[in-house]
Structure 1
Amino acid sequence: MLRIEKGNRMLWLIMVFLLLQPVIDVLTSLSIRLNDQAFTLGLAMRFGFLLFICVYLLFASYVRKPVILGYLLLFCLFVVLSIGVQFTMKPVFMWGPELKWLLKNVYFVGCFLFFLVVFRRGFRISPLFYLMLAVILTGAIMTVAGLSNTAFASYDYWKSGHVGWFYAGNEIGAILAMGLPVVLYFALKGSWWLMVGLLMVMYGLLALGTKVGYGAILITLLIGICTSIVLRLVKREYIQTFKFVTLSILFVVFILLTPYTPVAHNMELQLDWLGVSKEEGETPVMTSAQQDNIIYSGRETYWEDYQAYFQAAPWMQKLFGMGYGGNFTDEAKTIEMDFLDLFYSLGIIGFSLYLLPFIYMLWQLIKQVFQNRKQMMELEVILVLTGIALGLGIAFIAGHVLTAPGVSIYLAVLMAWLTCRIQYVQAENSLN
């Protein structure tokens, strides 16, 4: 586990900021719902944090500073050129939405680089511990809101589910999904009360009524059980038998409760709406269009619109992006599939720059798997990888991860921690 120098209070304050994310999300939700405020305290705090990141990366002393500053300078130059292209070529250009969208897009990049620098300095308490607490607090808020019957509905129409006291179901679902594997790790390795936290996070994911929530629980529990068995057989690394049995019982109960969950009800309604026949004893037959609608929940129609925008766009926009909403003429809408939204809004050049942090982490991971496979076979690493995979999968299918500052900070922490963990192992091996 990475460790921190004593007396470095700034790093502790950063972790406290991470811990406060659920509180900021609740305050943001109440500001929007009760006061109808577009500019909220949460938005101000998060972009204030982005400004702090820029100042820190610019003036602090750290390893590979020229490389990181060079990348940031290149990205900033691209942003300026992109704004110029949009201003001259977009059918409808609005300064406010365009700048807000660009800031949302760069938030993840800034957070990842910042945490990469900070985590390299080491931690006395793992940043994963603070992330786990933030996710459990989110699950607790969902649970209290649900039990007290004060929760807001996930949908404005006939589907079931609630978002607790939060505002956006997709964003809360992504946070809980990415955090669930981390909570599971601490529940298996730490105190018993963390099992209660695990249950609250699982409740929150099921209460949302989304496919993302259900899938995250299924994948995490399966990987947790399978990894525990493999580690027991291969490395003789044992998880307490009682906790392993509890985890297995949780999985069985989860499967048995599936027909009674909000997501099962919502899926049945969606199939009825799509006109999918469900004759008793027969497997439902679906067209490819119906399958796409079930997977993407209608996002595929906006994807088609963006493809048309991109094909008709001049080459400068293909290279530097079409900005927020594409080349719309009526109303700006996003696809809500992050990688596609980023590609069309940033263009070929901008999207390539955006992918560099992911490529760097993947390259470090591949090297470590080949060089130190046994040291990578740890429950902590595998479950963090699960959280990252869930985050990136949700970013592609359901969106609201990379383009949502309140969500992307969690993914940035996980990716930066894993990258530093890999480099930490490499440094240890070089000394031996």
Structure 2
Amino acid sequence: MGKSGTKEDNQLQALTQKLKDNYHIFEKLFIFFILAQPFLDLLSYFSIPVSNPIRLLVIPIGALYMLSYPDRRWSRNTFIYMLVLAVYFAINFGVNMIWKDPVSAAGELTFILKTFFFITALLVYVMIFRHIGENREWKVIVPKYLFINTSVVSVVMLVAELTGTGKRSYDYLEKQGHSGWFFSGNEISAILGMGFCGAIIYYLFIKKGLLAQIICTALIAVMIWAMLTIGTKVAFGAALLVLGMAFLLLLIQAIIKRNNFIQAGVVLVLLAVTVFVSPEMPIGNNLGLSVDMANEKAAQQQEQAEAPPLPEEEGGEVPPPGSVRQWSSWQLMALNGREEFFGTVLYYFERAPVIQKVFGMGIGGNYTGDEPRIIEMDILDWFFGFGYFGTLILVLPLLFVIGSILVFIFKQRFRTVSATALFSGVGACIGLGAAFIAGHILSSPASGFYLALFLGFLYGLVKQKPKKFFQ
């Protein structure tokens, strides 16, 4: 018996050592995985259901990478966190299978696994860029891959536009815009918004030949067109913010170093054209509608509040519970058409048993219809879906990574902030902002992947020794 136990221990040690000897294979695999993203999304559109299963492989492979990680403290702590998170998700699933009626086991598991994917990807990319450190190659490869991905998405949208086969971004007929051959307009909007930051890094701050620079300029123009064509605020805001920042940085560089005047001029032209054509693009139409609709809803609410209630027999269709609430026009703008869903899920949460408030109500809360309906604002969906305890566990890695980044920056008195780090930070902020206001990030593998990548990339950049800003 003792010999058998010793043999098993030796086999386990040999397996662990083999993992540690091959950790670099996992790192190369995860770096290459960046390039696969737009093609996985295209396969989903053409009803080839492989994207989610392939992405969910990140969870077990990421766990193996954590076990093989050279830094034992990081390896131990991240793996323990993953085990705690897995136990919590099992409790969340069990609680909702007992307390929810109706309940969909497949829906609950999908929501859990998609969230688990984001957390795993975040930890994996932070660990990768922390480890490969001073290797300069990754600082070129990541922006290059992001440029390629964003180009693929934008060119596909252009082909869809030319062939009239693009999927509408909104169900409302009044709103315009399409997402090409991709399912979710909000997801592609966030992907383009974040990806454009990486594309700008490659376009402006990584040396290329003249022909390559001309081709890149044309592709940047297509990206901007795509971001205006989707018709969503996230992509439009990202385009203006990134182009504006790029022009200011290039202008400062041109004044100080007496070069890059042409590049600054090109970016200024791109920015000016973007501002000029925006009113005629889908985003111009949709922005005007959003303001009008918010003001109109606020006015209707005021009229309904002042009007006498209808007799019960004259009432029409009963609205979902909790959905009829008073909202100000700015709240309606912030909720962007989600006020009914938010009011309903809040109503469910207020009346949920204590155990569901602690461990979460799962996807859509304690819904009464056939299908769960989420708010599509990720932080709120996390809170109602995973409860007080689950939300605390889930935000810990985010708080740790963001806090560490800020500590590195202030500790080095901003000397570790380069142009690459600055635009990576903007990409991360766009992703986090979209998670708050538009959703489809933290529990969506397609776009959540890019937020995890940008946070990991930024973590690795600011942890380096101070270098020149434009290096």
Fold shared by both chains (TM-score > 0.5):
yes
- Is 1:335–1:341's contact at 8 Å kept on the other side of the alignment? yes
Q: 1:424, CA displacement in angstroms?
A: 2.7
The equivalences for 1:338-377 within 5 A come to 338-377=378-417
The 1:7/1:268 distance shift into structure 2, 3 A limit, reads closer
> Match for residue 28 of structure 1?
44
Give 1:225's match in structure 2, choosing from 213, 237, 247: 247
Local SS of the residue matching 1:424: coil
Opposite residue 148 of structure 2, the aligned amino acid is L
| Of 345-354 and 357-366, the range deviating more from structure 2 | 357-366
Residue number in structure 1 paired with 2:374: 334
Question: Is the aligned partner of 1:113 residue 2:129?
Answer: no
Tell me by how many angstroms 1:238 deviates. 7.1
Q: Give how far 1:148 is off.
A: 3.6
Deviations 1:243-284 (A, max 9, x none): 11111121111111121111112234455556759xxxxxxx
The share of aligned pairs that are identical, in percent, is: 28
Alignment partners' CA distance in 2, 1:273 and 1:342: 27
| Counterpart selection for 1:180 from 186, 191, 196 | 196
The within-5 A match list for 1:29-428 is 29-31=45-47, 40-63=49-72, 64-122=74-132, 123=135, 124-126=137-139, 127-156=142-171, 157-190=173-206, 191=208, 192=213, 193-229=215-251, 236=256, 240-270=260-290, 276=296, 289-330=328-369, 331-425=371-465
1:13 equivalent in structure 2: 29
* 1:55 counterpart letter in structure 2: L
Q: Secondary structure at the match of 2:84?
A: helix
Q: C-alpha distance in 2, partners of 1:237/1:138?
A: 35
**Using a 3 Å threshold, how does the CA distance of structure 1 residues 238 and 107 change in structure 2: closer, same or farther?**
farther
Residues 122-169 of structure 1: per-residue CA shift (max 9 Å, x gap): 153332332232122212211222234332322343321111111111
Distance 1:208 1:256 in 2: 17
Structure 1 unmatched ranges of 5 or more: 1-5, 33-39, 278-286
- Determine the C-alpha separation between the residues in 2 that align with 1:232 and 1:378: 16
Q: Which moved more, 1:369-378 or 1:358-367?
A: 369-378
**How far apart, in 2, do the equivalents of 1:22 and 1:15 lie?**
14
Q: Is the 8 A contact 1:98 1:324 kept in 2?
A: yes
Work out the CA distance in 2 between the residues paired with 1:8 and 1:321.
38
Q: Which structure has the larger Rg over C-alpha atoms?
A: 2
Moved more, 371-380 or 212-221: 371-380
Find the residue that maps to 2:46 and give its secondary structure.
Answer: helix
Cα pair 1:146 1:164 within 8 Å, conserved: yes
Is the contact made by 2:416 and 2:463 (CA closer than 8 Å) also made in structure 1? no
Alignment partners' CA distance in 1, 2:60 and 2:258 = 45
**Do the aligned residues in 2 keep the contact of 1:185 with 1:383 (CA within 8 Å)?**
yes
Amino acid at match of 2:77: V
The higher-RCO structure (CA 8 Å, 6+ apart) is 1
Shift of residue 73, structure 1, vs aligned partner = 1.5
Deviation of 1:345 after TM superposition, in Å, equals 0.7
Say whether the 8 Å CA contact 1:131–1:410 is kept in structure 2. no
Structure 1 residue 106: deviation in Å?
1.1
- 1:282 match: none
Return closer, same or farther for 1:238/1:154 CA change in 2, 3 Å cut-off.
Answer: farther
Which letter maps to 2:56? F
Q: Deviations along 1:171-207, whole A, 9 cap, x unmatched?
A: 1111000111111122112331322222122111111
Q: Structure 1 132/9 Cα, relative in aligned 2: closer, same or farther at 3 Å?
A: farther
RMSD: 2.6
The code of the aligned residue for 2:227 comes to L
Q: Give the total of aligned pairs.
A: 405
User: How far apart, in 1, do the equivalents of 2:153 and 2:257 lie?
Assistant: 31
Q: Structure 2 vs 1, CA of residues 246 and 45 (structure 1 numbering), >3 Å: closer, same or farther? A: same
Task: Tell me by how many angstroms 1:410 deviates.
Answer: 0.8
Shift of 1:68: 0.8
Cross-structure match for 1:36: none
- 1:200-252 Cα distance to aligned partner (Å, 9 max, x none): 2211111111122211111212222234445667xx46762111111112111
